[in-house]
Structure 1
């Protein structure tokens, strides 16, 4: 499908606002990790006290059973908009991409990331957490915090990047898409590696491991595409 420019831009602005909030939360979380080290294992889901059985949803109703911590919540809240932008980029490939392998990779991205978004949303619902870090910090000012791909945190594309991608076609689109998706994937890999290191929930850490494995392989494929076209 061909994305409508105003609608696409509105979605991008929402994603960037959400990532801006999460980036601030992430900075605070990393500081806590640096200061607290392994002591974070004893913390619950943001209250700062020891986790109790009553604060964990029953296993039958919980798609990510077991204990979780702030790093698990942050991972889901960050990765959802990150995946959503990857799907936005993939939508632009229809009618624009010309390379067979690029088209195949687009299909792989859509097949993997759409279900992962639904999965992570189900975790947050079961954990009693909002889908966006913005929802848990209503007093935070959005202002100048908008992230772009130059922030180095997540590999998110800016609105200008997405507009350039939308305007490209054929081989120019294929090359631009591959370059952007490599950067985007590397951001996801970094976020997933942070979850593997700092997260507590086994299900969340397993998905993070899958992201690292799958997207690292796709980065290699995109790099080969760039060498070829």
Structure 2
């Protein structure tokens, strides 16, 4: 068996999974109440604006999978990510409206590596995949696509976990903090799943 060399290997994926501690189990999605939204601070505003952009990029990455991957498990994971994160974007937009702040969907967010931003104090979204990496991914297919997609999605998830942990620590809105807890739990688990999937793909080669 020959290992597949990935820019984001097993050790890095394992480190991401271990560095992100799940705060709570997932809870049913709900739209924020006016009373809940009234209780918020700047950390909440920054979190929902950046996370809406971050989730949108996750959907864009997931949409690349059906036409490029030949792996059923990669396809299933991409579909699950899409189904989980699309409703949360609606929640973020609703919270933005309640908070009296709005970030247009077309507004670009600065790129950042997972370790570059621990939270939202400086603005932007942690873990965003640079456009040149997205372009390279669009030109891949099969095993090369799967390997690269897993690595980029794991980095992207780690950025979301860091932002969510920052919101839990510094935010004030009960609804935003609840969503943040769900993100930590769901995406920490998915980072571990991505690592296991990369290992499986490499072992089968």
TM > 0.5: yes
Cα distance change on mapping 1:182 and 1:195 into 2, 3 Å: same
Is the deviation greater in 191-200 or in 103-112? 103-112
- Greater relative contact order (Cα < 8 A, sep 6+): 2
Structure 1 residue 126 corresponds to structure 2 residue 98: yes
User: Which one has the largest radius of gyration?
Assistant: 1
Equivalence map 1:1-229=2 (5 Å): 62=34, 64-131=36-103, 146-149=110-113, 152-153=116-117, 154-229=126-201
Q: Which has the higher helix share?
A: 1
Question: In 2, Cα distance between the equivalents of 1:164 and 1:85?
Answer: 15
| Alpha-carbon distance, 1:172 to partner | 0.9
Q: Which runs of 5+ in 2 are unaligned?
A: 1-31, 118-125
CA contact (8 A) 1:62 1:123 kept: no
| CA spacing shift, 1:214–1:150, aligned 2, 3 Å | closer
Paired residue total: 161
Moved over 3 A (4+): 63-66, 148-151
Describe the SS at the equivalent of 2:193: helix
CA RMSD of aligned residues (A): 2.3
Q: 1:202 to 1:190 in 2, by over 3 A?
A: same
CA distance in 2, matches of 1:131, 1:82: 12
Provide the TM-score with structure 2 as the length reference: 0.73
Number of the residue aligned with 1:43: none
